[in-house]
Amino acid sequence: MLLAYGRPAVDSDLPTRLPGAVMIFMIRSTEAVVWMSLIAVTIFSWALGVQHGSTVVGHNTASLMVIALAVLKLRFVGLYFMEIRRTPLALRASFEAYCAFLLALLSSMFLFG
């Protein structure tokens, strides 16, 4: 590798099993909770998309909910995995405004387009 010329590709060998404390820390971290929430929201939006013809919610309501959930997932990915929540206020505000604008644009395109 170019960055590790003459050295191993990783700093040290990884153990075959991670200690229990490390695994518990990884599960309880904020990013892990957000990741599991993203998986749950993805499954829920898939279920909404598959069942959009049911009598519980109509086609328009289910479609708008899927759009809103997609923008919510975008927001969580940006904040927690792209570290936008720790950036200066102007960058975070512009990202939040982008998410709100995107939600309004996609919803209005669906409803009126």
**pLDDT tens for residues 43-56?**
999 988 887 556 56
Write out the two tokens for 26. Answer: 């990884």
Whether this prediction's pTM lies above 0.85 is answered by no
* Tens of each residue's pLDDT in the chain, 113 residues: 455 556 666 666 656 666 666 666 666 788 889 999 999 999 999 988 887 556 566 788 888 999 999 999 999 999 999 999 999 999 999 999 999 999 999 999 999 98
The upper half-sphere exposure of residue 62, i.e. CA atoms within 13 Å in the direction of its Cβ, equals 16
Instruction: Kindly compute the dihedral angle of the four CA atoms of residues 46, 104, 109, 68, in this order, to the nearest 10 degrees.
Output: 10
Q: What is the Cα–Cα distance from 3 to 1, expressed in whole angstroms?
A: 6
